[in-house]
């Protein structure tokens, strides 16, 4: 990826709280954690505490701070919001208010080196961790973009008492667990230090790796990518190209079989009425975004070989068909909003419109397959000709 400096560079002050936190926990994870393991050994219950505590922190950041508070992709009962507030504080990644203010800027100004707080165009190190270790102007928060969150009592409580909550959630819980199991140091090292370092760096990979490595099937003019490695470690957060395209969708992996545990749990909780108002992007909007990228890719791939004009003509025909289908869809949307009147007629009209919308969706899916086939045939033809 191209790495470019920001347009304005000011003398940077180090931000010591984050620097010390990352340095101390990182050094301990690389030294004290393995040495203690070799000398005294760890018990299965310490590994279990590491996995459960780490999983709850990762899930609270992903489902709570990210998808619910940052993007308002669904709502939740106060008890779940309180749970998210406690465990996202345990992850020590900034209060919900700060996290969301920065993240909303990241989505609004993606790849703008002066305004995206963790722009990946400034390099791996910057987007992964350095943006938190210096007082960069791009990290400055004015909180204008989180006015809605200031009305949330749980968010403001967590913001105002952030340090005491961090201490009670980390030291408090782990000291009790350590005393109960008879090995406080082992518990602090494994479920405290190592868990925190793993939580930190897996989350940070979304800002670095998931903006540098992987395909961009829904939007190809931004650095965000679908990264399957990040996805595996981070509860489904790795479908990052999709997420940047449809940020208010509570899902990141749209198909049921897509590995997105955060989405599965949010859905499961909606059946228990703990989560509600789950938002999803319409299948046609998704197909439209995907096809727009496919058309641009096809244009590049078909513009080669002796018969390029013939292939490009076929592509133009497909493009005309694409515009026609989208026009149809716009008309159907208009009809849908105008569809008022007698209840029975309205119901009948809506059903007719819905079945036509399904036809549009199917037609876009078929077009996507035809485009794939067109590219394959063109490539086979070019290979045979050489």
Please report, as ranges, the residues that interact with Zn ion according to CB under 5 A.
Answer: 224
Question: Which of 36/239 has CB closer to Zn ion?
Answer: 239
Question: Which of 173/222 has CB closer to Zn ion?
Answer: 222
Shortest distance, position 21 Cβ to Zn ion, whole Å? 22
CA 322/CA 2 separation, integer angstroms: 33
Position with the least CB separation from Zn ion: 224
In whole angstroms, how far apart are CA 67 and each of 71, 104, 290?
5, 11, 22
Query: 105: buried, middle or exposed (CB in 10 Å: 19+, 13-18, 0-12)?
Result: buried
DSSP for 312-364, written as a single string: HHHHHHHHHHHHHHHHHHHHHHHHHHH--SSHHHHHHHHHHHHHHHHHHHHHH
Question: Which of 58/224 has CB closer to Zn ion?
Answer: 224
Shortest distance, position 224 Cβ to Zn ion, whole Å? 5
Packing angle between helix 44-59 and helix 261-271, nearest 10 degrees?
80
How far is it between the farthest Cα atoms of the chain?
79
Give the total residue count for the chain.
Answer: 386
Shortest distance, position 139 Cβ to Zn ion, whole Å? 15
- Among the residues of 31-160, which ranges form H helices? 32-39, 44-59, 78-90, 96-108, 124-125, 131-133, 153-160
Question: Which of 42/118 has CB closer to Zn ion?
Answer: 118
Question: Which of 208/363 has CB closer to Zn ion?
Answer: 208
Shortest distance, position 57 Cβ to Zn ion, whole Å? 18
Tokens 């244009």 -> residue:
299
Residue 27 tokens read as 């050094």
CA 118/CA 104 separation, integer angstroms: 11
Neighbours of 197 (CB within 10 A): 18
Question: Which of 76/224 has CB closer to Zn ion?
Answer: 224
Shortest distance, position 315 Cβ to Zn ion, whole Å? 31
Shortest distance, position 289 Cβ to Zn ion, whole Å? 16
CA 66/CA 291 separation, integer angstroms: 28
In whole angstroms, how far apart are CA 181 and each of 33, 174, 319, 382?
18, 10, 66, 68
Shortest distance, position 244 Cβ to Zn ion, whole Å? 6
Question: Do the beta carbons of residue 87 and residue 60 sit within 8 Å?
Answer: yes
Question: Which of 224/374 has CB closer to Zn ion?
Answer: 224
Shortest distance, position 353 Cβ to Zn ion, whole Å? 32
CA 310 from centre of chain: 40
Question: Which of 58/302 has CB closer to Zn ion?
Answer: 58
Shortest distance, position 68 Cβ to Zn ion, whole Å? 11
Question: Which of 66/81 has CB closer to Zn ion?
Answer: 66
């Amino acid at each position: 990826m191209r790495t470019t400096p920001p347009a304005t560079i000011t003398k940077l002050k180090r931000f010591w709280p984050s620097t010390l936190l990352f340095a101390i926990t990182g050094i301990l994870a690389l030294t004290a954690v393995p040495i203690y393991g070799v000398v005294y050994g760890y018990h299965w219950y310490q590994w279990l505490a590491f996995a459960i505590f780490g999983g709850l922190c990762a899930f609270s950041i992903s489902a709570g701070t990210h998808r619910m508070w940052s993007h308002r992709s669904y709502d939740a009962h106060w008890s779940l919001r309180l749970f998210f507030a406690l465990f996202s504080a345990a992850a020590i990644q900034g209060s919900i208010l700060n996290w969301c203010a920065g993240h909303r800027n990241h989505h609004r100004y993606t790849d703008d080196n002066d305004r995206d707080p963790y722009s990946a165009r400034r390099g791996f190190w910057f987007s992964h961790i350095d943006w938190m270790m210096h007082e960069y102007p791009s990290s400055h928060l004015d909180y204008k973009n989180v006015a809605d969150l200031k009305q949330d009592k749980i968010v403001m409580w967590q913001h105002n008492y952030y340090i005491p909550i961090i201490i009670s959630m980390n030291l408090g819980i782990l000291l009790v667990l350590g005393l109960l199991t008879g090995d406080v140091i082992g518990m602090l090292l494994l479920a405290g230090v190592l868990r925190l370092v793993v939580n930190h760096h897996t989350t940070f990979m979304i800002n670095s790796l998931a903006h540098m490595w992987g395909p961009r099937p829904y939007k190809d003019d931004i650095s965000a990518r679908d990264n399957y490695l990040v996805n595996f470690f981070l509860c489904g957060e790795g479908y990052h190209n999709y997420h940047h395209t449809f940020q208010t969708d509570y899902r990141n992996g749209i198909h049921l079989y897509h590995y997105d545990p955060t989405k599965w749990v949010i859905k499961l909780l909606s059946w228990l009425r703990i989560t509600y108002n789950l938002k999803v992007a319409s299948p046609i909007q998704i197909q439209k975004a995907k096809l727009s990228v496919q058309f641009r890719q096809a244009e590049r791939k078909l513009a080669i070989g002796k018969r390029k004009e013939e292939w490009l003509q076929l592509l133009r025909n497909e493009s005309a068909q694409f515009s026609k289908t989208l026009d149809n869809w716009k008309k159907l949307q208009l009809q849908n909003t105008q569809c008022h009147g007698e209840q029975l007629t309205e119901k009948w009209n809506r059903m007719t419109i819905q079945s036509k919308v399904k036809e549009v969706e199917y037609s876009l899916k078929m077009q996507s397959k035809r485009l794939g086939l067109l590219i394959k045939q063109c490539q086979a033809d070019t290979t045979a000709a050489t």
